[in-house]
């Protein structure tokens, strides 16, 4: 995790404030995107799209949204994150000064209301249960 984070830091340092980070929390699997059609099945409900000019804040809120899901909806993804020491990436980003792990989650569908992760995942439907 440290080497991946250090690589990202080099990019962040080079481009500085000219970066906007966009995380799409849709069709999430425990597999890496790079696995393509060989990837494991989708395991979580679709949450939405998150964006920030702070890389740590946007990644932290994604992890917090996953944690706020029901046990059934997040079990496989949490297990994968924990078994691969995925939280270390966030703590190392903070150590390297890459951003802030505190954030405001604004719901742009509701007049930019500030909401908590629990509210953001309230009512999400398990994948395939539209």
pLDDT tens-digit profile of 30-58?
887 778 888 888 878 889 999 999 999 99
Could you tell me the pLDDT band of residue 129, with boundaries at 50, 70 and 90? low
Q: If we measure between CA atoms, which residue out of 77, 82, 80 comes closest to residue 65?
A: 77
Number of compact structural domains in the chain:
1
CA distance 38 to 4: 23
Q: Between residues 36 and 77, which one has the greater pLDDT?
A: 77
Let me know if residue 125 belongs to a domain.
Answer: no
CA distance 128 to 130: 6
Q: Between residues 9 and 41, which one has the greater pLDDT?
A: 9
Q: And the tokens for 115? A: 């909401």
Let me know if residue 49 belongs to a domain.
Answer: yes
Let me know if residue 126 belongs to a domain.
Answer: no
Let me know if residue 83 belongs to a domain.
Answer: yes
Q: If we measure between CA atoms, which residue out of 25, 16, 17 comes closest to residue 45?
A: 25
Indicate the pTM of the whole model. Answer: 0.89
């Amino acid at each position: 995790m440290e080497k991946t984070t250090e690589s990202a830091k080099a990019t962040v340092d080079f481009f500085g404030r000219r970066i906007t980070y966009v995380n799409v929390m849709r069709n999430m699997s425990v597999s890496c995107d790079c696995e393509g059609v060989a990837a494991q099945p989708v395991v979580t409900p679709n949450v939405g799209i998150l964006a920030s000019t702070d890389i740590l804040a946007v990644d932290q809120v994604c992890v917090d949204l996953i944690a706020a899901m029901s046990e059934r909806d997040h079990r496989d993804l949490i297990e994968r994150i924990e078994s691969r020491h995925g939280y270390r990436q966030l703590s190392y980003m903070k150590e390297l000064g890459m951003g802030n792990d505190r954030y405001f989650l604004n719901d742009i569908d509701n007049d930019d209301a500030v909401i908590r992760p629990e509210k953001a995942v309230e009512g999400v439907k398990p994948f395939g249960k539209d």
